[in-house]
Amino acid sequence: MKTYLVTGGAGFIGSNFIIFMLNKYDDVKIINVDALTYAGNLENLKSVENNPNYSFIQADITDNEAIAKIFDENDIDYVVNFAAESHVDRSISNPDIFVKTNVLGTVNLLNNAKKAWQIGDDCYKPGVKFHHVSTDEVYGSLGPEGYFTETTPLDPHSPYSSSKASSDLLVKAYHDTYKLPMNITRCSNNYGPFQFPEKLIPLIMNNTLLHKDLPVYGDGMQIRDWLYVDDHCKAIDMVIRDGVDGEVYNVGGHNERTNIFIVKTIIEYIKENVDSQVGEHMIKHVTDRKGHDRRYGIDPQKIKDTLGWYPETPFEVGIKKTLKWYLENSEWVKNVTSGKYQKYYETMYKDKKEV
C-alpha cells in the first residue's frame, strides 16, 4: 500500500487524478491536502469521499507547521504537487500570490519531504519520490514551426509561468544538491470535467449557454495543444511508477488548435444540442492578454518511447464528452459561478474592452 500526498487535489486536474487513481487501484492511499481557494472545490470529490483509502486535510502548502504535521502523522511515499495558482490572467493582475504559493509553497513541501524521507547523507527511504506537476508554459512561446522538448531552454513570460519555472528549478536543485528523488512532468493545456470556468473551454461554454459575450483575446489565432485530463493523469501515474529519478517528461497529444476554433466548436455544439439561437455573432474580440504566448506545442516522444504513454482520447471525442459533462452538471457550474465564487468567475473578462 503506497501513500500519496496529493496537494491541490480539490482543483481541476488534482481531483481528476484522485478519482483516476482510486478507480484504478485498490492498494493506494491518498491524502488530499488543499487550501480550498476559489479554485478548489470538495464537490469535485463527491464520488470518492467515502472511499476508505481517501482522506482530506485543509491546509496551505506554504504553512510549514501544517505540512510538517502531515508528514509526522503519515508514512508518505509520494508527494504529487498540483497545488498552485494556475490562471495566467490572474497572475498578470496579482503576481504576489503566485510567487507565494507556487514558489514558496513548493520549497516548503520540498523541505518537509526531505526531512521526513532522509535516512543519511544523500540517502532516502527506499521508493519515495517528489513528483512536481508543471506546465509547457515554462518553455515560453513557439513560432509556427517546431515543438517543446525536455531540453528546450526555459523562457517563461507571465508571472504564472515564471513562478512555475522557478518551482521546477527548485525541485531540480533539491535533486542536484541533496539527491532528493524527483520527477517533473510538463503538460500542455488540459480540458475535461471540473475545470473552473475562468479558463477558456468552461468559460465559453457557460457564457454561450447564458447568452453572454464570448471574449476572444486579440485575433484568436493563438494556438494551444489540448489534452484530455485523464491522459495527463495516466502520464503522471506512469512517471511516478516507472519514471527515471531526476528526469523531466513532457506530456502532450499533438493536438494544436487555435482559440477561435475552440470557441466556434463550442458554439456549434450548443447550437446543435441545446439552443439554436446561439451563434458566432456572440463572439467579441477583446483586448489581448499582456505578453500573450502565441503558440504552445509539446513533443511527447520521450514519455512515449521510454514509458509507453500515449494519449487515449482523440480531441473530437474528448471535447464532446467534456461539453456533455458541463451540460449534465449544470448544478456544479452554477455553484462555482455564484455566491462567494461569482467575483472570481467574472472578474477576468469583464474589464476587457472590445477591439
Asked if 159 is part of the footprint of ligand NAD (rule: CB under 6 A), the reply reads: no
Bridge partner list, 78: 4, 129
- Least CB distance to ligand DAU at residue 288 (A): 8
Reference 102, options 56, 40, 155, 165; nearest CA is 165
Residue 322 interacts, among ligand NAD, ligand DAU, none and using kind-specific CB cut-offs from 5 to 8 Å, with none
Select from 58-66, 118-126, 211-219, 253-261 the region that touches ligand NAD (CB under 6 A): 58-66
217 binds ligand DAU (CB under 6 A): yes
CB of 85 to ligand DAU, least distance (A): 9
Tell me which DSSP letter residue 256 carries. Answer: E
Say whether 63 is catalytic.
no
The binder of ligand DAU chosen from 61, 109, 142, 216 (CB under 6 A): 216
CA atoms within 13 A of residue 82's CA, in its CB half-sphere: 26
Q: Which of 227, 330, 237 lies closest to 18, judged by CA?
A: 237
For residues 243 and 253, what is the distance between their CA atoms, to the nearest angstrom? 19
25 annotated active-site = no
Q: How far is the CB of 204 from ligand NAD (least distance, A)?
A: 15
Q: Could you say which residues in the range 279-338 bind ligand DAU, by CB under 6 A?
A: 289, 296
Active-site hit among 34, 77, 89, 137: 137
Which 193-212 positions form the footprint of ligand NAD (CB under 6 A)? 196
> Which single residue brings its beta carbon nearest to ligand DAU?
135
DSSP-derived letter for residue 48 is: G
Between residues 82 and 124, which has the closer beta carbon with respect to ligand NAD?
82
Q: Which three cell numbers stand for residue 263?
A: 470557441
Rounded to whole angstroms, how far apart are CA atoms 255 and 82?
23
Q: How far apart are CA 299 and CA 208, in angstroms?
A: 33
Closest CA to 168 of 106, 118, 101: 106
Interacting positions 37-96 with ligand DAU (CB under 6 A): 86-88
Counting residues that bind ligand NAD (by CB under 6 A) gives 30
Partner in contact with 224, chosen from ligand NAD, ligand DAU, none, beta carbon below 5 to 8 Å by kind:
ligand DAU
**Does the protein bind ligand DAU through residue 199 (CB under 6 A)?**
yes
Q: Quick one: which segment of 36-44, 60-68, 90-98, 209-217 binds ligand DAU (CB under 6 A)?
A: 209-217
Q: Does the annotation count 137 as an active-site position?
A: yes
d(CA 313, CA 204): 21
What does 215 interact with, of ligand NAD, ligand DAU, none (CB < 5 to 8 A by kind)?
ligand DAU
Among 5, 6, 13, 319, which residue sits at the site for ligand NAD (rule: CB under 6 A)? 13
- Selected range binding ligand NAD among 8-16, 151-159, 176-184, 210-218, rule: CB under 6 A: 8-16
Which residues fall within 8 angstroms of residue 103, CB to CB, at 6 or more apart?
163, 166, 167, 170
| Contact letters for ligand DAU, residues 252-271 (x by CB under 6 A) | -------x------------
Determine how β-strand 54-58 pairs with β-strand 214-217. unpaired
What residue has cell string 470529490? 45
* Terminal Cα distance for the chain, rounded: 56
In the range 104-163, which residues lie near ligand DAU by CB under 6 A? Answer: 135-137
Helices of type H across 78-199:
88-93, 96-98, 106-117, 159-178
Burial call 218-252: b when 16+ CB within 10 Å, e when fewer: eebebbbbbbbbbbbbbbbbbbbeebeeebbbbbb
Query: What does the binding site for ligand DAU look like in residue numbers (CB under 6 A)?
Result: 86-88, 135-137, 188-189, 199-200, 203, 215-217, 222, 224, 259, 289, 296, 349
Query: What does the binding site for ligand NAD look like in residue numbers (CB under 6 A)?
Result: 7-8, 10-14, 34-37, 39-40, 60-62, 82-86, 101, 105, 133, 135, 164, 187, 189-190, 196
Catalytic residues: 136-137, 160
